[in-house]
Amino acid sequence: MIPAQFDYEAPATLDEAINLLAQDPDGTKVLAGGHSLIPAMKLRLQSPQMLIDLGTVPGLRGVRADGNQLVIGALTVHADVASSDLVRKHVPGLAEAASLIGDVQVRNRGTIGGSVAHADPAADLPVILTALDAAFVVQSSSGNRTIAVDEFFTDFYTTAISANEILTEIRVPLPGARCGTAYAKLPHPASGYVVVSAGVLVTRQASGSCTAARVAIGGLGSGPCRAIATEIELQGKPLTPQIIAAAAAKAAEETDPVEDSYASVEYKLHVATVYARMAIEAALERARN
Ligand SMILES: Cc1cc2nc3c(=O)[nH]c(=O)nc-3n(C[C@H](O)[C@H](O)[C@H](O)COP(=O)(O)OP(=O)(O)OC[C@H]3O[C@@H](n4cnc5c(N)ncnc54)[C@H](O)[C@@H]3O)c2cc1C
């Protein structure tokens, strides 16, 4: 199928893009890599009257450190997140997640902003960004606001971004000493999207006990789900294989998956505990080094 007819604008500045969007927020879509929006338009699941191409807007791409945060421009493509020295050094779990998205073409066109704004329940980046306690900066004609990750993903394909707002950057707190991050994914064998995945940020004391943990599970609901029971089980405990296994066994407690043509509910729940354990162990190993 071909998309319904639409107008196309390629603004030269972010202000111009915001002003164009303000004219008809509900009839307009911003275009990033186009790897989710264009297929949806071809299937006529989306029929915006106007597309605003962010590809011509300067300043939205790249990774930089700002104080104790990593700032990733919304238009940064997955390949650049995966290969960024800053990301690999400070949050290797994020580089890992970006490197597991789709194939080379998808990683060279798809953007971090497009991925989180699209909020596919089977996407990779929402899961690791939830574990990393990221925040999302959006801009409209009324100014800026920052949305915490725990308030950002609100439903299937739905976020807290308003129709008149453009996501400009993703802010990731830089993990401190003895912190480790990791991401583990069971991909669907045909699509490569997430069947189940786990993102982890863990902090350990010199003694080996866990000071803090954030664990997020993907693929089992409308979006990333915090595994609060797992986090509680880890905190303050010595990180022995037995305690990690007991904590990971609770990883799917807050989820409510549905069966699909690939996997049963029972299988998804079991795999979540396995991938949670793998990600916790990998994050812990990095926290040691
Ligand atoms: C073959 C294939 C395989 C894939 N495999 C995976 C996979 O394994 N894992 C995975 O996570 N993803 C996968 N994807 C999705 C891919 O990561 C997309 O790049 C991503 O979902 C959307 O990013 P985009 O830059 O292409 O956004 P677009 O398609 O341009 O936009 C998507 C949506 O986000 C909105 N949007 C985009 N940027 C902004 C912004 N800055 N502010 C506000 N709204 C914005 C758009 O208006 C649109 O509604 C795959 C895609 C394809 C085609």
Summarize pLDDT for 2-53 with one digit per residue, the tens: 999 999 999 999 999 999 999 999 999 999 999 999 999 999 999 999 999 9
- What is the per-residue pLDDT for 85? 98
**Which atom of ligand 1 is the closest one to the Cα of 36?**
29
Q: How much is the pTM?
A: 0.98
Q: Let me know: does 252 contact 273? Beta carbons within 8 Å.
A: yes
Residue 92 C-alpha to ligand 1 middle, in angstroms? 21
Is 193 a pocket residue for ligand 1 (Cβ < 6 Å)? yes
Residue among 30, 35, 50, 101 to mutate when testing ligand 1 (max atoms within 8 A of CB): 35
Closest CA to 77 of 99, 46, 58: 99
- What is the per-residue pLDDT for 239? 92
Is 161 a pocket residue for ligand 1 (Cβ < 6 Å)? yes
- What is the per-residue pLDDT for 288? 80
Residue 106 C-alpha to ligand 1 middle, in angstroms? 9
Summarize pLDDT for 233-247 with one digit per residue, the tens: 999 999 999 999 999
**Which atom of ligand 1 is the closest one to the Cα of 124?**
11
Q: Let me know: does 2 contact 47? Beta carbons within 8 Å.
A: no
Residue 78 C-alpha to ligand 1 middle, in angstroms? 10
Strands 179-187 and 194-204: antiparallel
- What is the per-residue pLDDT for 1? 80
Residue 34 C-alpha to ligand 1 middle, in angstroms? 6
Q: Let me know: does 275 contact 196? Beta carbons within 8 Å.
A: yes
Residue 115 C-alpha to ligand 1 middle, in angstroms? 4
**Which atom of ligand 1 is the closest one to the Cα of 187?**
8
Summarize pLDDT for 143-172 with one digit per residue, the tens: 999 999 999 999 999 999 999 999 999 999
